[in-house]
Amino acid sequence: MGEHHYAVEVVWSGATTDYRGYSRNHEAHAPGRPPIPGSADPAFHGDPSRWNPEQLLVAALAECHMLWYLHLCADAGIVVTDYHDAATGTMDDRRFLHVTLHPHITITTAAHLDTARTLHTTGHARCYLANSMNFPVHHEPTIVTG
DSSP string, 15-49: --SSTTTS---EEEE-TTS--EEE---GGGT--TT
What is the pTM (predicted TM-score) of this model? 0.92
Q: Provide the mean pLDDT of the chain.
A: 95
pLDDT digits (tens, 9 = 90+) for 70-115: 999 999 999 999 999 999 999 999 999 999 999 999 999 999 999 9
Q: What is the pLDDT of residue 19?
A: 86
Give percent of the chain with pLDDT exceeding 70: 99
Residue 1 confidence (pLDDT) above 80: no
| Among 33, 49, 30, residue whose Cα is nearest residue 41 | 49
